[in-house]
Structure 1
Amino acid sequence: MVDLENIFFPFYKDNLDAIKQNNSIEFAYYSSLEVIHYILTDGFIWLRNVSCMNDWQEVYRGRKLFFKYFSIKSNRQKLLLILKKIDMDFPWENNLLSFIQDFPVAALYDTYIASLTEHDKDDDSAGKLSMWRGYGRGVGGAIILKKQELLSRDISGIWLTKVAYFTYNEFDECINQLMVKLNKNMVLLKNTNSAVVWKYLQRAILFAIISIKDPGFKEEKEWRLVCFDSSTDKDENHLKPDKRVIEGIPQIIYKLNIHDLLPTLLNHVIIGPNQYGPVAYNALKDDILELYKKQKYVSEDLIREKLKYSTIPIRPDYL
Structure 2
Amino acid sequence: MEIDEATRKFNEIFNPGLLEETFAVLKEQKRFVYYTSSDTAMKLLRNQELWFRNATVMNDFSEVSYGLELIQSVFSGPEGKRFREAVEGIFPDTISKADALLSEWERDWRLETYIACVSVHDRSEDQRGRLSMWRAYGDIALVVNNTPMIAVTDLLAVYSVPVLYLSERELTGYLSNITDNILINRSYLADLGQSVLVTYIHNMLFRFAIATKHPGFREENEWRLYYRPTERQSPMMKKEAVVLNRVPQIVHKLQLTNDPENGLYGADIPSLLERIIVGPNEYPYVSYGAFVDILTDLKVEDAHNKVVVSDIPLRTS
TM-score by length of 1: 0.87
**Distance in 2 separating the partners of 1:304 and 1:40:** 16
Partner in structure 2 of residue 87 of structure 1: 91
**Superposition pairs for residues 160-309 of structure 1, below 5 Å?**
160-232=160-232, 234-236=233-235, 238-260=236-258, 261-292=268-299, 297=301, 302-309=302-309
CA contact (8 A) 1:114 1:224 kept: yes
Which runs of 5 or more residues in structure 1 are unaligned? none
Which secondary structure does the structure 1 equivalent of 2:287 belong to?
helix
Partner in structure 1 of residue 261 of structure 2: none
**Distance in 1 separating the partners of 2:46 and 2:108:** 36
Which runs of 5 or more residues in structure 2 are unaligned? 259-267
Partner in structure 2 of residue 34 of structure 1: 39
Shift of 1:99: 4.9
CA contact (8 A) 2:83 2:175 kept: no
Which secondary structure does the structure 2 equivalent of 1:142 belong to?
strand
Shift of 1:282: 2.2
Q: Residue 305 and residue 86 in structure 1: after superposition, are their counterparts in 2 closer, same or farther (change >3 A)? A: farther
Which secondary structure does the structure 1 equivalent of 2:280 belong to?
coil
Residue identity in the other structure for 1:182 = I
**Distance in 2 separating the partners of 1:5 and 1:180:** 14
Partner in structure 2 of residue 78 of structure 1: 82
Partner in structure 2 of residue 109 of structure 1: 111
Shift of 1:144: 0.4
Which secondary structure does the structure 2 equivalent of 1:83 belong to?
helix
Is the deviation greater in 258-267 or in 12-21?
12-21
Deviation readout 1:193-224 (Å, 9 max, x if unpaired): 42222222111111112212111111111110
**Distance in 2 separating the partners of 1:58 and 1:289:** 37
Partner in structure 2 of residue 96 of structure 1: 98
Is the deviation greater in 223-232 or in 7-16?
7-16
**Distance in 2 separating the partners of 1:259 and 1:280:** 25
How many residue pairs match? The answer is: 301
Q: Residue 82 and residue 106 in structure 1: after superposition, are their counterparts in 2 closer, same or farther (change >3 A)? A: same
**Distance in 2 separating the partners of 1:308 and 1:259:** 24
**Distance in 2 separating the partners of 1:20 and 1:170:** 27
**Superposition pairs for residues 14-53 of structure 1, below 5 Å?**
14-23=20-29, 25-53=30-58
**Distance in 2 separating the partners of 1:184 and 1:277:** 57
Partner in structure 1 of residue 143 of structure 2: 144
Which secondary structure does the structure 1 equivalent of 2:173 belong to?
helix
Shift of 1:87: 2.5
Which secondary structure does the structure 2 equivalent of 1:197 belong to?
helix
**Distance in 2 separating the partners of 1:277 and 1:185:** 56
**Distance in 2 separating the partners of 1:291 and 1:226:** 27
Deviation readout 1:88-122 (Å, 9 max, x if unpaired): 3xx42223334556665231111111010111011
TM-score by length of 2: 0.87
